[in-house]
């Protein structure tokens, strides 16, 4: 629902001509509302710019012929079916690559093509079974999902990386290949230090709320008017933090001098930092700490996050066809992402695509 459309939107931003093939009922995310913009789901709008939409019913012989012709002409084909779901239509990798040896064919699934081939993949389920939910939430509370579909997005990014790598290799070999990504593998890779703790250290991580298992301070701490997230990632940054807070002696205290010491003695250190932080506002500490290279920030709403990006000159919003969306995060010096098409209506380009496929 998300990984494939997100991946193809990013490729469209980078210059690809993307044809979005929809069933007669259309992309499910068209109906995921609220919120809406002019009666269109903002979920759908957020992941479908720079695409042309055509409706093809694969159970209809004429439409299936057009779908096969489209696959035969494609540089890249990305599919989001359960493994094997396209085989009966002759649109699996083996069939497509026989007609189109140069095709880079990317398959996105929930759990891969072996024992999990029959399992449908939703981000929430993968957050549960991968262990992420066991890490999210208060230590004594219930497990929580992340606030976004983090593994769908991550898997979409992995799909883009695989596609671009295969295209680069094809420039030399002239031959395409099958790129496969799945949500669970992306989840285990994306949990980085936590999954590494298991496979390399034999340690099973657990919920720590907003605390970090290997760093302190690296969490929200109370200032005079609310919580401020502070991230002192090394000994030098901790010394600067102590200097700004007016307690330089803490950086020399053997209980807190090194990262491992601060982590082990966090319960002793936390109240000493809070005592100083509560004397001033978040805005004051934000200015002073960032000025010396200690990263910190207030806990914003998403709206405030967008406003901050605007204030920092990141130009986070683009509006192809007058439809606002969040810009592609990649900046290139010569071939910048472009925003040519707004998210398409269902079958908006059907006649155009069908006419093109009918040409020699």
Is residue 152 flagged as an active site residue? yes
Q: Which two tokens stand for residue 242?
A: 């102590």
302-325: average pLDDT: 97
The yes or no reply on domain 3-193+315-358 and CATH 3.40.50.10540 is yes
Q: Which two tokens stand for residue 221?
A: 């701490």
**Summary mean pLDDT of the chain:** 97
For the range 317-325, what are the long-range contacts, defined as Cβ-Cβ under 8 Å and sequence gap of 24 or more? 320/49, 320/50, 323/37, 323/45, 323/49, 324/37, 325/45, 325/46, 325/49
Name the CATH code of domain 218-300 (choices 1.20.1250.20, 3.90.850.10, 3.30.1490.20, 3.30.1540.10).
3.30.1540.10
What contacts 343, CB < 8 A, 6 or more positions away? Answer: 40, 44, 45, 48, 49, 51, 323, 325
3-state SS, residue 296:
strand
The active-site residue, picked from 152, 225, 311, 315, is 152
pLDDT above 90 (res 240): yes
Reference 53, options 103, 18, 6, 15; nearest CA is 18
pLDDT above 90 (res 12): yes
pLDDT, residue 171, reads: 97
Cα within 13 Å of Cα(347), Cβ side = 10
Query: Mind listing the pLDDT tens digit for each residue in 242-259?
Result: 999 999 999 999 999 999
250-277: average pLDDT: 97
229-264 residues labelled b (16+ CB within 10 A) or e (exposed):
bbbbeeeebbbbbbebbeeeebbebeebeebebbbe
Pick the residue with more confidence: 279 or 121? 279
Query: Mind listing the pLDDT tens digit for each residue in 87-145?
Result: 999 999 999 999 999 999 999 999 999 999 999 889 999 999 999 999 999 999 999 99
Q: What is the DSSP string of 25-54?
A: T--GGGG--SSEETTEEHHHHTT--SEEEE
Do the domains 3-193+315-358 and 218-300 sit in the same CATH topology, yes or no?
A: no
> Checking DSSP bridges between strand 295-298 and strand 226-231, what pairing results, if any?
antiparallel
Q: Which two tokens stand for residue 28?
A: 């499910």
pLDDT, residue 360, reads: 80
In this prediction the pTM is 0.93
Spatial separation of the C-alpha atoms in residues 234 and 194, rounded to whole Å? 19
- The domain locations on the chain are 3-193+315-358, 218-300
pLDDT, residue 298, reads: 93
Contact 129, 184 (CB under 8 A): yes
pLDDT, residue 228, reads: 96
Tokens 């005592």, located at residue: 275
pLDDT, residue 107, reads: 98
Query: Mind listing the pLDDT tens digit for each residue in 160-179?
Result: 999 999 999 999 999 999 99
């Amino acid at each position: 629902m998300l990984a494939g459309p997100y991946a193809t939107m990013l490729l469209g931003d980078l210059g690809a001509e993307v044809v979005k093939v929809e069933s007669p009922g259309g992309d499910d995310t068209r109906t995921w509302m609220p919120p809406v913009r002019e009666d269109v789901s903002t979920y759908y709008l957020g992941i479908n710019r720079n695409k042309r939409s055509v409706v093809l019913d694969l159970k209809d012989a004429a439409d299936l012929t057009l779908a096969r012709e489209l696959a035969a002409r494609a540089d890249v084909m990305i599919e989001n079916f359960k493994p094997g779901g396209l085989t009966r239509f002759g649109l699996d990798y083996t069939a497509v690559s026989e007609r189109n040896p140069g095709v880079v064919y990317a398959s996105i699934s929930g759990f891969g093509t072996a024992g999990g081939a029959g399992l449908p993949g939703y981000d929430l389920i993968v957050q549960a079974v991968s262990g992420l939910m066991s890490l999210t939430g208060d230590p004594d509370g219930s497990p929580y999902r992340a606030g976004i579909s983090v593994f769908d997005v991550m898997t979409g990014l992995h799909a883009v990386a695989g596609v671009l790598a295969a295209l680069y290799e094809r420039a030399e070999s002239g031959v395409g290949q099958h790129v496969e990504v799945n949500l669970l593998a992306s989840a285990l890779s994306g949990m980085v230090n936590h999954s590494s703790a298991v496979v390399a250290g034999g340690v099973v991580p657990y919920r720590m709320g907003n605390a970090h298992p290997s760093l302190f301070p690296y969490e929200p701490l109370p200032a005079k008017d609310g919580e401020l997230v502070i991230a002192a990632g090394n000994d030098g940054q901790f010394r600067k933090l102590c200097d700004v807070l007016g307690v330089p002696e803490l950086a020399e205290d053997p209980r807190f001098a090194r990262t491992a010491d601060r982590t082990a003695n966090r319960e002793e250190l936390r109240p000493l930092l809070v005592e100083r932080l509560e004397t001033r506002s978040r805005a004051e500490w934000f200015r002073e700490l960032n000025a010396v290279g200690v990263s910190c920030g207030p806990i914003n709403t998403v709206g405030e996050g967008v406003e901050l990006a605007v204030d920092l000159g990141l130009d986070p919003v683009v509006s192809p066809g007058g439809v606002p969306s969040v810009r592609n995060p990649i900046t290139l010096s010569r071939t910048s992402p472009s925003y040519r098409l707004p998210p398409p209506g269902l079958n908006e380009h059907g006649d155009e695509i069908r006419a093109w496929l009918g040409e020699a």
